[in-house]
Copies of this chain bind each other. A is one copy, B any other.
Amino acid sequence: MPLLNVSSVSYSYDGVVNVLSDVSFTVEDGTIVGLVGPNGSGKSTLIKNIFDLVRLQSGAIRIGGHEHTRPGAKELAMYLSSNDYLPEFLTAREYLSMMGKLFGLETDHEKALGLFRTFAMEGRYDDLIEDYSHGMRKKTQLISAFVIRPPLTVIDETLNGVDIEALYLAEAEFRKVRDEGRSILLCTHDFAVLERLADRTLFLDLGSVVRDEATRDLVDEHGSVAAMVFDHLGTSQP
């Protein structure tokens, strides 16, 4: 049984045009899957369907075998957004406690403090997020995922704009997460990150899965993931 099973999902905002057309794919335990798609590919709508932020119109989504609208499914998957969507009036400690509660865990603050040190934010754990820079907020989001360690983490451009060391450290941690049998769905425009991390790459365009293959095979075929994507854009544009 795959950890995430998206099966024949279609979605339309207006009942006329499909933003998603019969999308199916799986994420197995212990794999990192890259999700790539231009504007209008339906990537955001797909994520909103997975996290039950819009009502599923057709098809099925299962997380850990549970129907995706059930509490049992919701405790298995965490979403890290591309923006600074963090409650500014909390400290990082309070935020991580709140996240722990959401996932039914006692937050391991010692572990979080260790990661704050590793990610060059020593001494800031009890400061208000309001006083964090953009980069610190990104790193706090990543750390929350590394502390909670849910079976599935969906990362939506969260690595944009973090510094090189943080990227280096985060990549190492992502690999550890995978080696523990957990899974990551990695949405990113940074094709180099994707080639380094993703076991498989899913390319979505105009609401359909265009490619779903081992990243290595895509690179062998096209030279790079970017070349694959840009070739597609170059030929599909009017």
Contacts and interface: CB of A to CB of B under 8 A. Distances in A.
Interface of A: 13, 36-39, 44, 47-48, 53-54, 81-83, 85-90, 94, 98, 120, 126, 128, 130-131, 133-135, 156-157, 160-165, 167-168, 189-193, 195-196, 224-226, 229-230, 233-234
Given A53-B98, A164-B39, A229-B164, A90 B48 contact: yes
A163 B39 contact: yes
Nearest to A162: B189
B38 A164 contact: yes
Contacts of A36: 164
A80 to B, nearest CB: 11
Name the 9 nearest CB pairs between A and B, nearest first.
A192-B192, A191-B192, A38-B164, A131-B133, A39-B163, A83-B88, A160-B161, A160-B160, A190-B190
